[in-house]
Amino acid sequence: MKPHTLADVVSAYAAGDLRDEDVLPLLRGVYEQGLSRQGIRELTHAMIATGSTLNFDQVGKPLVDKHSTGGVGDKITLILTPLIASYGVAVPQIAGRGLGFTGGTIDKLESIPGWSAKLSQAQMTSQMETVGAFIARATSDLVPADKKLYALRDVSGMVDSIPLIASSIMSKKIASGARNLVLDVKWGRGAFMPTVEKARELAEVMVALGEDEGVHTRALVTNMNVPLGNAVGNSVEVQEAIDVLRGGGPTDVRELTVVLAREMLSMVNITDVDPSQNLDNGLAWEKFEQLIAAQGGDLQAHLPQAHHQLEIAAEHDAYVTDINARTVAEASWMLGAGRSTVGQQIDYSAGVVLHAKPGDFISKGEKLVSLYFSNKARINEAHDRIIRGFTMGERNGIVDFGPLVAAQITNKGFS
């Protein structure tokens, strides 16, 4: 008997009673035609119902979670999780792998030798009691429908859909025991939502889904037109996150980390602190060391190193006026940092490091960008792609995409 409703399809697919090709037409219908708010709510409930749920109330600490919809160079979770934990707040982070052209938190952390994303609920609970945080992949019985749909969306080009993104994110967050949740909903060329308006719509849907389920939820709509930070890849982003945790790193990464930290801490009534202080005084770094060690990671070991490095220099004196985040992400993917099929092995050492950002002046012959790779198969294509991502000019001026934070969404509306 064929399932008749979306909920039935989700249940049957998770149980293995439907194949990918059976689900694709329905998924395509949602992608192309959308879904009502009630339909999104029903889809989210159906996904949660395919597995078990987590509960961390016994930890005895205030709990706050964070999720990003994905961006280019977005390594914020690696910094933000230990930063918030350094204030005595428990941070349960169920994270994912790369989706589409954006990188995944789990992929980045797996570039650290020995680190494991696989934790049981008992291990998660224990680690929150001792370290104050964990970053892990979802257990096999936590929203199993999402794992299959997530992978299918990725390889079939159906990532940028509000109903599918909202139900995917919120089903996992609701099922994983979140009590307070801050969403970083990105818009722009390096995000799944191309405009502020689309990002705001997605944020409103997710905030409503969370609040309906008793999860105190708010969202920030943030700018993702230019890569976040200088590094795009896996091990190169881990190194940049470490730089920020040790008091340095790119200004934009640090700024967004602090903005999100203020939101998360305020949700558990910690409002009289400056989060940047714990980046500078070493407390966040110490917490990161504890978190990585607790999950088997060895920060003393070398991160994966690419076999090859290609430096691209400026051909003439000029100002950098724009860098297209999407183009940089595609170049990184071509070098091996992302996947084109489900389960494909990625090259943790592959990636891109920018040596200039919009507004910088570059002299002829000065390094503009470095490409890291071990497989030469697509280096020419990646080279051409990254070059197309840069816009240079004789005058000092940048393409203005507006503020870093475009809006804040709460259950009372947006500002």
One of 66, 137, 153, 179 is an active-site residue; which one?
Answer: 153
Query: In angstroms, rounded to a whole number, what is the distance separating the alpha carbons of residues 201 and 398?
Result: 28
The torsion angles phi and psi of 293, rounded to 5 degrees, stand at -65, -40
One of 67, 108, 147, 179 is an active-site residue; which one?
Answer: 67
Three-state SS at 367: strand
One of 68, 168, 332, 349 is an active-site residue; which one?
Answer: 168
Q: Which residue has the tokens 């990188």?
A: 103
Query: In angstroms, rounded to a whole number, what is the distance separating the alpha carbons of residues 319 and 388?
Result: 15
One of 65, 74, 107, 146 is an active-site residue; which one?
Answer: 146
Provide the β-strand partners of residue 232: 352
Active-site annotation holds for 146: yes
Question: In terms of C-beta density within 10 A (0-12 exposed, 13-18 middle, 19 or more buried), how is residue 378 classed?
Answer: middle
Query: In angstroms, rounded to a whole number, what is the distance separating the alpha carbons of residues 396 and 31?
Result: 41
Query: In angstroms, rounded to a whole number, what is the distance separating the alpha carbons of residues 81 and 414?
Result: 25
> Which regions of 157-307 does DSSP assign to beta strands (E)?
180-187, 216-223, 231-233
Three-state SS at 221: strand
End-to-end Cα, the chain, rounded Å: 49
User: Pick from 285, 298, 297, 299: which is nearest to 86 by CA?
Assistant: 285
- H helix intervals, 86-192: 105-109, 121-130, 144-156, 162-175
Centre a 10 Å sphere on the Cβ of residue 19 and count the other Cβ atoms it contains. Answer: 9
> Using N-to-C axis directions, what is the helix angle for 251-267 and 76-85, rounded to 10°?
40
One of 66, 172, 173, 200 is an active-site residue; which one?
Answer: 172
Active-site annotation holds for 67: yes
Is the distance from CB of 233 to CB of 332 less than 8 angstroms?
yes
**Catalytic residue annotation:** 67, 146, 153, 168, 172
